[in-house]
Amino acid sequence: MTTYWCEHAQLPDKVHRGVRITVADGRISEVATSTAQRDGDVRLRGVVLPGFANAHSHAFHRMLRGRTHSDGGNFWTWRKQMYAVTSRLDPDTYFALARGVFTEMLAAGYTVVGEFHYLHHGPGGRPYDDPNAMGEALIAAAEEAGIRLTLLDTCYLSGGLSSSGHLPLDEVQARFSDGSVQAWAERVEALRDTDLVRIGAAAHSVRALTRDQLAEFAKAVGDRPVHAHVSEQIGENLTTQMVYGASPVEHLADTGVLGEAFTAVHATHLSDLDLELMGRSGAGACFCPTTERDLADGIGPACELAVQDVPLSLGSDQQAVIDPFEEIRGIEMHERLKSHERGRFSTAALLEMGTSAGYDSLGWDGGRIVVGALADLVAVRTDSRRTSGVALGQIIFGATGADVTDVVVGGRRVVSGGVHALGPVDDLVAESILAVRAST
């Protein structure tokens, strides 16, 4: 049993002073307020928040940070540069890169990540001796870094969708494909949950599976969390309408994918009918504001989804920024730009998007400082140049990931005083980038 004494902590109702959090078997067993520190308590300074959830991540995109932003283009030209990164990755370099990325996430306050994993095989699509070598590399990296992971193992069978139908895989995409839904399902079945890892599922997009394949996929996923890229681009909506006579959301509903276990990633360009279908199905949505603005995708219908009671979670996606505070603020600030009004979401609602909603979408019971929840905690400085003078209940509007000092996952402190248990985070990240660059 471990006890953490927090100078201040954000509980479901408000920020409380002198909060003692008792942890047993990785979960919160007691929460007491207005207490004094005792001998044996681990002190967490500043204000303690529930752990943040990164509900949509592509770890290998971290190689593109600061290298794809200044030359114009759009999502489709950026994608060519993204695909080029895959040529440098094998199980060893993937592990090295992911470990660095996951430690960067932890240092910023993320305690769980949903890794949307489709880089499965070797060059030309040749399976490794262990068909799950790349997924196992991600799992090993997460376990060494100490972050919770939902491995959203992704089914990816077509090279795209045009007005004439689904396109064949290109040379790069061959690494992503198992050839059939059955082969994908058989490979995923060999993966196992651990204390820190859950095995989820994803359909890459309606572009990457035919109607029959999506229907087969829906039957194969079982009770796993299921994610998919949905309506990120207007062009995706147009081609899906031309080929299937439906929007991507309608198409996912028709094929049985849409449901309570489903999260639509991006969901940027939704019709009124799409919004109604999302609400009726119990599905969630995951926005990635720093990526969606970097790639000029557009501003998603956050308020419209909220009206339909669709839970909204957040992700870092392409890793141009790894900072949960930036993603949270992005939701509110984008809405203000659209509506010319402030306070589109309450602070409590925004914090829920960044914490418990993401945990729920990834199949974990966390993101809340309540008895019974996973003991995942984040301590944030209140005396930095960014946070001095900030009202504690509005810390998400002032802080950045640089203000995170301590991170607890399952009751274990993995970041202390800004230093990860494996060493200084700056060094760990730099080493991971160099390991990939040195591989060619």
Cα 396 versus chain centre, distance = 18
Q: Return all residues near 72 (Cβ < 8 A) that are at least 6 apart.
A: none
Cα 47 versus chain centre, distance = 23
Is residue 106 domain-resident? Answer: yes
pLDDT of residue 78: 66
**Same domain as 57, residue 41:** no
Is residue 298 domain-resident? Answer: yes
pLDDT of residue 307: 98
**Same domain as 226, residue 83:** yes
Please say whether the beta carbons of 158 and 210 come within 8 A. yes
Q: Running DSSP on this structure, what letter comes out for residue 56? A: E
**Domain finish residue from 305, 331, 361:** 361
**Same domain as 77, residue 24:** no
**Same domain as 410, residue 346:** no
**Same domain as 35, residue 110:** no
Q: Is the sign of the CA dihedral 323, 328, 329, 333 positive or negative?
A: positive
**Same domain as 237, residue 294:** yes
- Count of structural domains, the chain: 2
Is residue 133 domain-resident? Answer: yes
**Same domain as 58, residue 11:** no
pLDDT of residue 77: 67
**Domain finish residue from 329, 361, 393:** 361
**Domain finish residue from 332, 361, 390:** 361
Per the document, the length of the chain is 440
Give pLDDT tens digits along the chain (440 positions).
999 999 999 999 999 999 999 999 999 999 999 999 999 999 999 999 999 999 999 999 999 898 777 676 666 566 677 777 788 899 999 999 999 999 999 999 999 999 999 999 999 999 999 999 999 999 999 999 999 999 999 999 999 999 999 999 999 899 999 999 999 999 999 999 999 999 999 999 999 999 999 999 999 999 999 999 999 999 999 999 999 999 999 999 999 999 999 999 999 999 999 999 999 999 999 999 999 999 999 999 999 999 999 999 999 999 999 999 999 999 999 999 999 999 999 999 999 999 999 999 999 999 999 999 999 999 999 999 999 999 999 999 999 999 999 999 999 999 999 999 999 999 999 999 999 888 76
Q: Phi, psi at residue 234, to the nearest 5°?
A: -60, -35
Is residue 403 domain-resident? Answer: yes
Residue 112's H or E segment, with its range, is strand 110-117
Residue tagged 């592509």 (tokens): 58
Q: d(Cα 298, Cα 194) in Å, to the nearest integer?
A: 37
Residue 310 region by backbone torsions, left for phi larger than 0, else alpha for psi between -120 and 50, else beta: beta
Note down the domain range covering 383: 2-49+377-426
For residue 412, the cross-strand partners are 409
**Same domain as 258, residue 123:** yes
Record the tokens describing residue 367, joined without a space.
Answer: 């993101």
Q: d(Cα 228, Cα 209) in Å, to the nearest integer?
A: 11
Please say whether the beta carbons of 428 and 99 come within 8 A. yes
Is residue 368 domain-resident? Answer: no
pLDDT of residue 88: 82
Is residue 432 domain-resident? Answer: no
Is residue 436 domain-resident? Answer: no
**Same domain as 110, residue 232:** yes
Q: d(Cα 220, Cα 297) in Å, to the nearest integer?
A: 31
Give which of 220, 204, 233 is closest to 78, Cα–Cα. Answer: 233
Q: What is the CATH number of the domain that holds 11?
A: 2.30.40.10
**Same domain as 243, residue 167:** yes
Is residue 302 domain-resident? Answer: yes
**Same domain as 389, residue 261:** no
Residues with catalytic function: 266, 317
**Same domain as 135, residue 9:** no
Q: What is the CATH number of the domain that holds 188?
A: 3.20.20.140
Rg (CA), the chain: 21
